[in-house]
A and B are shown apart, each in its own frame.
Chain A
Amino acid sequence: MISKILAIAKQNGKEGLYYRFDLLLYIFNFIVEITVYIFIWLAIYNNGNQIQGMTFEQITTYYILVVSLSPIINWGINEIMGNAIREGEILRELLNPISYFNYYFGIRIGELIESTIVGVLTFGICSILFGVLLPNGILNFLFFIIIVFLAVIVVYFFELLIGMTAFYTNSIWGVEIFKRAVLSIFSGMIAPITLFPEFLQKIANFLPFKDCIYTPINIYFGELTNMEILQVIMKQYIWIVVLYIIAKIIFNKAIKNITVNGG
């Protein structure tokens, strides 16, 4: 099963890497984004503000990591899945000798390969341009990677759920945008969650998205104890199981009354 998933991942990843020039432009866009953030915060720090015990180097590193992680979290399967359902490709996908969930997981891993390359290059270039803090110890860095990977699986199930709305509505745009909005606010992409007003912090603590961006970066800084890190990992596993069950139930129901357009 795993070899099948990897084969699909490899194929999908290669397709993405074919457009190498586009990847360079994505990196360029990410650097522009980081530049804006850094100069805004520089202006705030120049006012003599102390921000929640974060130094300027930390906030710079925070945003470089956020933007480098953002493709890894954001580049999902929704576009491919939505198109496949709209254009009738879904019929072929359902007949594949690999289950629908595994097939799309393979595609998600393919996207992950591509986005990791973009993320690492963005991080590398920005660390030269702006300077970054290194991770607090090798162990923390390993935990950082593990938690990001688990977060990708959590996000993958959300993407599946969103994609499946296309079985009913034929268009996933609305839900997809909603996901993007929720994700970018409550994962800590736009700002460290400790800077949020209290009621937003409460919502962020409840949702799993915090562990996609904010938590791994804090682990990178070494702000969490090993015990807390294990708790985060447990929480992610629970989310994965719960979301898997929900997705499976909905999928089994949706597949029965699927209508295919000219497929």
Chain B
Amino acid sequence: MIRNIKLYFSFLVASLKRMMEYRVDCIVGMVSQIAFQIIELVFIWIIFQTTDNIADWSFEHLLLLYGVMMLSISVTDLLFDSTYDIGKRLIRKGKFDTILLRPVHPLISVLGESETSTALGYMILSVILIVSMLIKLQVSVTLFLILKILYFGILGGFIIGGIQTIFSITGFWTYKSNEVVWSVFQLHKLAEYPIEIYNKFIRILITIILPFAFASYYPTLDYLGLNESNLIFIVPLIVIVIWIIAINVWNWALKKYRSTGS
């Protein structure tokens, strides 16, 4: 286990270094990500021209929630980005066969190949949003709170990354860039807003079936001191359950795997 984690990080560092070689692409990816997020922030700003709260969430609360989600997304993006295109990049080209020959679980190899230039964009934006909104809402920023935000940010990243990993096995059959993983990932947009606004079906979807709300909504409630249900404490448990499922699903897919022979 420890060995696997160590290996994963050494793979990851190698691929991040590879990415840094292309400095211009890196900066472009970062800036574009910030630009797309800013469009959404403009949307939130415009709707608050017509109202002063959404389901009792003020403009500042909503931006804080948004920032918390961005932090989780940045962690997902940094660590698990390679789940997107295993079909196209590895399976179709036969590169996956070499990964199978390595004396390490293939999932570790695959995840270690993550290289993303957008994560930094998400991260910068999320830090700006979280810090400025906490100050504006007059929440005292203690060291404990900062550690808590980091802790739940990383766990949130693991929740979303785990969900992506589960769905990434579709690449074994589609052999191409994985629109399925992207579609599932896009559901995180639902959890960028307070779950009170949704109907029962969507609430169940983003808390129980695909628990995106635990990467944004519940941690935010906790930072604001509004956490009455104490649901925040099951976040580590959710991470463990999701990853147990992810690893088992992957092992099952590996048994079914047939090389394209290229």
Q: Contact: B31 with A177, CB < 8 Å?
A: yes
**Neighbouring B residues of A29 by C-beta, 8 Å:** 182-183, 186
Count of A-B residue pairs with CB < 8 Å: 89
Would you give the 0/1 interface string for B136-148, flagging 1 where the beta carbon is closer than 8 Å to chain A?
0000000000000
The answer for the CA separation of A32 and B50 in the assembled complex, in Å, is 23
Residues of B within 8 A of A97 (CB): none
Is the CB–CB distance between A173 and B28 below 8 Å?
A: yes
Contact residues of A between 6 and 46, Cβ < 8 Å to B: 21-22, 25-26, 28-29, 32-33, 35-36, 39-44, 46
Contact B54 A43 (CB under 8 A): yes
Q: Is A185 an interface residue (CB 8 A)?
A: yes
> Do A195 and B28 touch across chains, with their CB atoms under 8 A apart?
no
A46: chain B residues within 8 A (beta carbon): 55
Known contacts A25-B179, A44-B54, A51-B50: does B193 contact A36 (CB below 8 Å)? yes
Most chain B CB inside 10 Å of its own CB: which residue of A42, A43, A174: A43
Nearest Cβ on chain B to A134's Cβ, whole angstroms: 25
Asked if B90 CB lies within 8 Å of chain A CBs, one says no
Q: In the complex, which of the residues A42, A43, A51, A185 contacts B39, with contact meaning CB atoms closer than 8 Å?
A: A185
Contact B47 A40 (CB under 8 A): yes
Whether B35 lies near A181 (C-beta < 8 A) is yes
Q: A177-B31, A181-B35 are in contact. Are A195 and B197 (CB under 8 A)?
A: no
* Inter-chain contact B43/A43, CB cutoff 8 Å: no
Q: Is A47 an interface residue (CB 8 A)?
A: yes
**A184 within 8 Å of B (CB atoms):** yes
Q: What is the distance, in angstroms, from A36's C-beta to the closest C-beta of chain B?
A: 5
A238 within 8 A of B: no
Cβ < 8 Å to B, chain A residues 188-213: 190-191, 195-197
Cβ of B50 and Cβ of A49 under 8 Å apart?
yes
A-facing residues in B177-220 (Cβ within 8 Å): 179-180, 182-183, 186-187, 189-190, 192-193, 196-199, 202
Q: Mask for B46-69, Cβ within 8 A of A = 1, else 0? A: 110111011100000000000000
Checking B39, B186, B193, B197 against A181 with a beta-carbon cut-off of 8 angstroms, the contacting residue is B39
User: A225 in the interface, Cβ–Cβ < 8 Å?
Assistant: no
> Is A127 positioned at the interface, with any CB of B under 8 Å from its CB?
no
* C-alpha gap A177/B32 in the complex (Å): 6
Question: Is B226 close to A, CB under 8 A?
Answer: no
Cβ-defined contact, A184 with B39, below 8 A: yes
Judge if A165 is at the interface, Cβ distance under 8 Å: no
Smallest CB gap from A45: residue in B: B51
Which residues on B sit within 8 Å (CB–CB) of A36? 189-190, 192-193
* B38 on the A face (CB < 8 A): yes
CA distance A177 to B202 in the complex (A): 31
Q: Once the chains bind, are A47 and B53 in contact (CB under 8 Å)?
A: yes
A32, A177, A180: the one contacting B186 at CB < 8 Å is A32
Given A22-B179, A29-B186, A177-B35: A39 and B28 interface contact (C-beta under 8 Å) = no
Is A43's CB under 8 angstroms from B55's CB?
yes
Set of chain B residues within 8 Å of A252, measured between Cβ atoms: none
A78 to chain B: closest CB distance in Å?
A: 13
Q: How far is the CA of A41 from the CA of B193 in the complex (A)?
A: 12
- Closest Cβ–Cβ distance, residue A174 to chain B (whole Å): 6
Q: Assess the B187–A32 pair: CB atoms within 8 A.
A: yes
Cross-chain contact B49 with A44 (CB below 8 angstroms): no
Given contacts A40-B54, A171-B24, contact A191 B31 (CB under 8 A): no
Across-interface contacts of A190 in B (CB, < 8 A): 39-40, 42-43, 46
Residues from chain A with a CB closer than 8 A to the CB of B186 are 29, 32-33
Q: Which listed residue (B32, B42, B183, B190) contacts A173, Cβ 8 A?
A: B32
Nearest chain A CB to B83 CB, angstrom units: 16
- Contacting residues, chain A, for B32 (C-beta < 8 A): 173-174, 177
A26 CA to B180 CA in the complex, in Å?
10
A28 to B187, CA, bound (A): 10
Determine the distance from Cα of A40 to Cα of B198 in the docked complex, in whole angstroms: 8
Q: Which residue from chain B places its CB closest to the CB of A176 in the assembled complex? A: B32
Complex Cα distance, B48 from A195, in Å, reads 10
B interface with A by C-beta (< 8 Å):
24, 28, 31-32, 35-36, 38-40, 42-43, 46-47, 49-51, 53-55, 174, 179-180, 182-183, 186-187, 189-190, 192-193, 196-199, 202
User: Given known contacts A25-B179, A33-B189, A39-B198, what 6 new A-B pairs fall within 8 Å (CB)?
Assistant: A32-B186, A36-B193, A39-B193, A39-B202, A185-B42, A190-B43
A sample of 25 cross-chain residue pairs with beta-carbon separation below 8 angstroms, ordered by A number, consists of A25-B179, A25-B182, A32-B189, A35-B202, A39-B197, A39-B198, A39-B199, A40-B54, A40-B193, A44-B47, A44-B50, A46-B55, A47-B53, A52-B50, A173-B28, A174-B31, A174-B32, A178-B35, A180-B35, A180-B36, A181-B38, A185-B42, A190-B39, A191-B43, A195-B46
